[in-house]
Amino acid sequence: MFLIVGLGNPTKQYEKTRHNIGFDVMDALADKYNISISENKHKALCGKGVIEGMKVVLAKPQTYMNLSGESVAELVNYYKLDPESELIVVFDDISLEPGNIRIRKKGSAGGHNGIKNIIAMTGTQNFMRIKVGVGEKPKGWDLADYVLGHFSTEDRAKVEEAIGHAMDATVLMMQGEVDKAMNDYNSKNK
């Protein structure tokens, strides 16, 4: 079984913001594979289903971004999963342009507070992740204001394409093809 977690913030005011791109990818996976992400448990909205023959739990932590690890650790423990091989986390990255994704097998938090909390709560930074580009904050902007803001129409179109790539990469990663996913999608970045 795989736990696929999309990071974001709960409540309507954060829908479709840059910081909620992980939620957008979970919603797209749920739509494509007919999984209902509606069960509220382990501090997350969860849905169980099957993607390409593999059992999954899709999760959208409801703890707000900076405490995402509380939910992820509860889910990992409840399902008795190995975060180093059965966890995939999808989240926003300001160092990537909108439309680009980057896949990693493991790594540091890179300044992302949601990832920082997941590392702290699970006790490992060795989990697979998909970073979805939201673009660099403009000079003079507050970072929180930027990531909690909405995409331009042009950038949203690029992000929709990136969501599709993130979904395809997720399937490859679940199939044990992380290197292929990295080769296929990291190289698309400009």
Residues annotated catalytic, as ranges:
19
33 is in an annotated binding site: no
Question: What residues form DSSP beta bridges with 128?
Answer: 88
Name the residue type at position 87: L
Sole residue written with tokens 């904050």: 137
Residues 6+ apart with CB under 8 A from 72: 3, 5, 59, 61, 83, 87, 89, 118, 121, 122
State both tokens at 105: 């097998």
Residues 6+ apart with CB under 8 A from 25: 6, 90, 130, 132, 163, 166, 167, 170
64 is in an annotated binding site: yes
186 is in an annotated binding site: no
Task: Give the CB-side neighbour count of residue 89, counting CA atoms within 13 A.
Answer: 35
78 is in an annotated binding site: no
Annotated binding site for tRNA: 14, 64, 66, 113
Residue numbers in the known binding site are 14, 64, 66, 113
